[in-house]
Each structure stands twice: as structure tokens, then as C-alpha cells.
Structure 1
């Protein structure tokens, strides 16, 4: 009985090991297939194919842009013809025909100016009505339109004070320092006596004798 139990346990272990190996092999095979597919996708867009694709995209974009420009030009011509009419042939027209053409253009401009004035008046009227309704709604809600305030920096006054102090400091440094002696030189020179007054009485007496002789 013990041998049978041991054999059964070993068979169970072998079966589990075989099942585990089989699952690992399946997972490995799936991973290899995925990597191969990924490599195949990477290799699909070669540099030549990328270059051709870029050229095709540029060509397609240029064609679309050209079509859009043609469409806008046609729409512009259509609107001009509706508003201004088709151009008149004035090269082969005589004086009477020219007067008639000018009269037609004048009437057309007159009508357009009248329509323009009516539309501008209607726009101003609508703007006034909208502003009036907005003010009424704000009054009913108890809210008032806040005026737009100018942004002022809280450091502006401090900077102004610092600049003023710096200017005063520079002004004081630029002042010329004057010594007191510069103003006392002339007075001292005036107080000094001339050299001839410094001579003694003997020299004066000798000079007087020379003069008498």
C-alpha cells in the first residue's frame, strides 16, 4: 500500500510538472510569435517607403490647398458680381452709353450707401438695447458692474522713495567741498605789509642822507 501511495504521488508530481512545462512552452511560443510580428511591422516601413509616403502626403496637401484657394476665389467673384454686378464694356461704348453706365453705377452706390446707413443705425440701436437690458438685469439682481481698475504694484511707492533717497545722496556727493582757507587768503594778503615797510629806521636814515647829498 505504501508503495502504491508513493507511486501515485510521484505520478501526480510528474503530471503537474508536464502540465507546467506545456504551459511554459505555449507562453514562450506566443511571445516568439508576438516578437516576430512586431519585427515584421517594424520592417514594413523602410526608409524608401517613408520617403514616398511623405512625398504623397505633400502632394495631397498641395492639391487640397490649391482647391481651397480656387474655391475661395470663385466665392469672392460670385459675391462681387452679386453686389456690384458684372463689369461693363466701356472700351467700345459711345458717350451716351458711358453716361448710362455711370448713371447705373451712381444709382447702385446710392442704394448701397442707404443700406449701409440703415444697417449701422440698426446695429447702434441693438447695442443700446442690449446695454439697457444688461443694466436692468443687474439692478434686479442687486449687482453692479465693477469698473475696471488699474493694476498698481504695492512696491511702487517703496521703489520711488528709494530712488528719491539715492538721487539726494548722489547730489550731496557731487557738491564741491570748499575749505575755509580759500576765503581767508585775500584778507590775509591785505593784512600783510609791503616789503619796504619792514625796513628798519637805520636804512631809512641812510636813504635820506643820499637824497640830500
Structure 2
């Protein structure tokens, strides 16, 4: 087929589809008008009607309105009940299949994820800064220890052990001094 022939066939198909669509719309509109006329009925002639006749017409309209509203309420109830049943059956089908409705996920920027990871790493680095500071010297230089040792005359403070020749010396201390000699 030549390109011109293809183009002509496409054009004819589009025209035919448009005509079919138009006919379908006209048919639906005619059906709608017919149903509305059937449900509403013919309008009553109010010209030249006396008061009693008007009351009867109003009463008939009121009864018709009441009937239509009750039918509408019944139909709405039936629709809600069937929607509920359909939903329950869909849930049962999904349970049997093992497939569940997947929620729609929000789009998240890649850069936000990277930024969050960097912040997490930064928080790990700052962990030491958040610790409580303790003023205890674990690592002292030996020079500092020598400076802090007390001289011999200052070592004997109140409650210090008495020397060898003095009374009341502890026997353990006396033995230690004898072993040294």
C-alpha cells in the first residue's frame, strides 16, 4: 500500500468512528429524555384550576416526590451495601493470592538521602565532644610523680606509722625492718 492510500484509510476510519460516537451520544440522550419523561410524567395544567384542584395537584406532587425520595434512598443503600461487599471480596481475593495493595510511595530526592547520611556520620564524629569531661589524670609523666613524692620529714604526718625504736610499733612493720637489715 502506498502512504497516500494508508493516510486515506486512516481518515475514513476516523470519520466512521466519529459518526458512531455521535450516534451513540444521540441514542443515550434520547433514552435519557424518555426516562425523565416517564418518571416525571406530563405536566399538569394549572391555568384556570380552582383552589381544590390545586390542592389535589400539590398533594399528588407531594406523594410522587415522597415515593421518588424513598426509592432514591433505597437505591443509595443498596449501592453502599454492594460496594462494601465488593471491597470485602477484593480483600479476600488479595489474601488468597498473597498480593496486597502496594501503597504509593513518595518521591524522595537522592541528595536528601546523602545529606542525611552525612549528618549521621557527623554525629558519630561529634560523639566524643558530647561525653562528660573527667578531670582524672590517668597518664602522668614520671617526672611529675617524683615532684609529688613527699620528703622523709613530711612523710610522718598524723596517723603515720612510728619508727622502729618507738613504742607501739606494729609487729608487721617491725618484721619488715628486720628483714631489710
TM-score bucket of the superposed structures, by smaller chain: 0.3 to 0.5
The structure whose RCO (Cα within 8 Å, separation 6+) is larger is 1
Please report the TM-score for the alignment, with normalisation by the length of structure 1.
Answer: 0.38
Higher helix share: 1
Please tell me whether Structure 1 or Structure 2 has the larger radius of gyration of its CA atoms: 1
